[in-house]
């Protein structure tokens, strides 16, 4: 059995910088046509010059691969309309982080008063720049995403022309919010479609499955599976592949992030097959929906996967992937 995917897209990807960038960027660029690139570097990507310089470093790191890095800015409520007009041709979205809620987010938003955000969000609405949000509060870790849903609803109501992407959703509450507002969209990761908190901490602690937002309950996973497998038109794949060196994961103060980029397409194919779901829906989930939502035309790339056992490497130059050492049932045969 073989599957052909046309121009797969990863709509939430961390490529990091420096040596880590050179390790992980080629792994995504080989099999994906493009990806939305997260801006939470140190310092964050927050100017036109930052965007152009980071994009160049990405392109330099991927060599001859055909791949489009869809660049983002780190949201600041001080962005003016003039600034956004000057940078809009270089970016695909702007990413908003609540302050201190995840890796390198200390410079994020510390309050969600509409008046404080209105000038920037009105300008983004008028210019057609989507807003991607890491939607968590600072509350109890299992409740953070559900507690953020009223903020999504407040933003969607006050800025009806603004495309708001709920990033890496993990709860049934976020799935329910999708159908309440026409301007709410979502990305879903591979790992949140597979694991629950029990896989992370129910037995021996599994540091390579620890991420933010943390994996939730089985009923939350079922809600995510329902909209992903059905290719809900406002849902798209975003890996949130977040690499860290092995020594940062297998350590006190374990870094948050699951590295899935090199196995994402293979494992998604297996997941859709296990759930007796049409691979046409997989095509929509990993490409077609994102093209429609973002209004992008990706590089033409055809990825052919076959039903052939693949053993996931133990690491990629010191970065441990999800399912390291395990066998999965699909492999990438060819990319053209």
Q: How confident is the model over 266-286, as pLDDT tens digits? A: 999 999 999 999 999 999 999
What CA–CA distance (Å, rounded) separates 252 from 296? 42
Instruction: Examine residue 309 and state whether it is found in any structural domain, yes or no.
Output: no
60 is a catalytic site residue: no
Is residue 302 one of the residues assigned to a domain? no
Phi-psi region of 100 (alpha: psi -120 to 50; beta: other; left: phi over 0): left
Write down the residue that tokens 């055909």 correspond to: 66
Structural domain contains residue 48: yes
Q: Give the separation between CA 92 and CA 51, rounded to whole angstroms.
A: 11
- Contact 261/42 with Cβ under 8 angstroms? no
303 found inside a domain:
no
What letter would DSSP give residue 263? G
Collect all residues with Cβ–Cβ distance below 8 Å to 201 and sequence separation of at least 6.
Answer: none
Bridge pairing between strands 310-311 and 327-328: antiparallel
Instruction: Please enumerate in sequence order all residues whose Cβ is within 8 A of that of 299, keeping only pairs 6 or more positions apart, or say none.
Output: 7, 33, 34, 66, 67, 68
Q: What is the pLDDT along the chain (336 residues), one digit of tens a residue?
A: 899 999 999 999 999 999 999 999 999 999 999 999 999 999 999 999 999 999 999 999 999 999 999 999 999 999 999 999 999 999 999 999 999 999 889 899 988 999 999 999 999 999 999 999 999 999 999 999 999 999 999 999 999 999 999 999 999 999 999 999 999 999 999 999 999 999 999 999 999 999 999 999 999 999 999 999 999 999 999 999 999 999 999 999 999 999 999 999 999 999 999 999 999 999 999 999 999 999 999 999 999 999 999 999 999 999 999 999 999 999 999 999
Within a domain: 15 = yes
Which is nearest to 109 in space by CA: 136, 85, 88, 87?
136
Q: Tell me whether residue 323 is in a domain.
A: no
The helix/strand/coil state of 3 is strand
Q: Which two tokens stand for residue 54?
A: 């980071």
Is the CB of residue 70 less than 8 Å from the CB of residue 34?
yes
Structural domain contains residue 244: yes
Q: How many domains does the chain have?
A: 1
Tens digit of each residue's pLDDT (9 = 90 or more) over 174-183: 999 999 999 9
Identify the domain containing residue 252 by its residue range: 8-297
If we measure between CA atoms, which residue out of 248, 269, 246, 213 comes closest to residue 101? 213
Q: pTM of the predicted model, to two decimals?
A: 0.97
For residue 164, the 8-state DSSP code is E
Q: What is the CATH number of the domain that holds 247?
A: 3.20.20.140
Whether residue 41 is contained in a domain is answered as yes
Q: Which residue has the tokens 């001080």?
A: 78
Among 10, 50, 220, 240, the one annotated catalytic: 240
CA 95 from chain centre, in angstroms, equals 11
């Amino acid at each position: 059995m073989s599957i052909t995917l046309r121009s797969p897209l990863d709509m939430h990807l961390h490529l990091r910088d420096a040596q880590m960038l050179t390790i992980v960027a080629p792994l995504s660029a080989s099999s994906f046509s493009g990806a939305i690139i997260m801006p939470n570097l140190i310092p964050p990507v927050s100017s036109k010059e930052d965007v152009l310089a980071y994009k160049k470093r990405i392109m330099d790191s991927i060599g001859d691969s055909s791949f489009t890095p869809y660049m983002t800015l780190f949201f600041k409520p001080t962005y003016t309309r003039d600034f956004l007009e000057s940078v809009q041709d270089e970016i695909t979205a702007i990413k908003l982080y609540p302050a201190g809620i995840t890796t390198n987010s200390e410079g994020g938003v510390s309050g969600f008063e509409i008046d404080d955000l209105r000038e920037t969000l009105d300008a983004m609405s008028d210019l057609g720049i989507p807003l991607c949000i890491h939607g968590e509060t600072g509350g109890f870790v299992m409740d953070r995403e559900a507690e953020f849903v009223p903020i999504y609803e407040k933003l969607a109501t006050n800025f009806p022309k603004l495309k708001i992407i709920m990033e890496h959703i993990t709860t049934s509450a976020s799935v329910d919010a999708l159908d309440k507002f026409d301007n709410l969209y979502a990305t879903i990761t591979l790992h949140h479609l597979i694991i629950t908190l029990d896989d992370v901490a129910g037995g021996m602690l599994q540091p390579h499955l620890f991420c933010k937002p943390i994996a939730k309950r089985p009923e939350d996973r079922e809600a995510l599976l329902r909209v992903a497998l059905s290719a809900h038109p406002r849902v798209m794949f975003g890996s949130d592949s977040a690499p860290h060196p092995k020594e940062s994961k297998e350590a006190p103060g374990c870094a948050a992030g699951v590295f899935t980029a090199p196995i994402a397409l293979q494992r998604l194919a297996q997941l859709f097959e296990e759930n007796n779901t049409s691979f046409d829906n997989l095509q929509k989930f990993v490409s077609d929906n994102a093209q429609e939502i973002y209004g992008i035309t990706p590089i033409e790339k055809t990825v052919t996967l076959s039903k052939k056992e693949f053993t996931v490497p133990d690491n990629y130059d010191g970065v441990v992937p999800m399912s390291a050492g395990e066998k999965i049932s699909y492999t990438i045969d060819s990319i053209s």
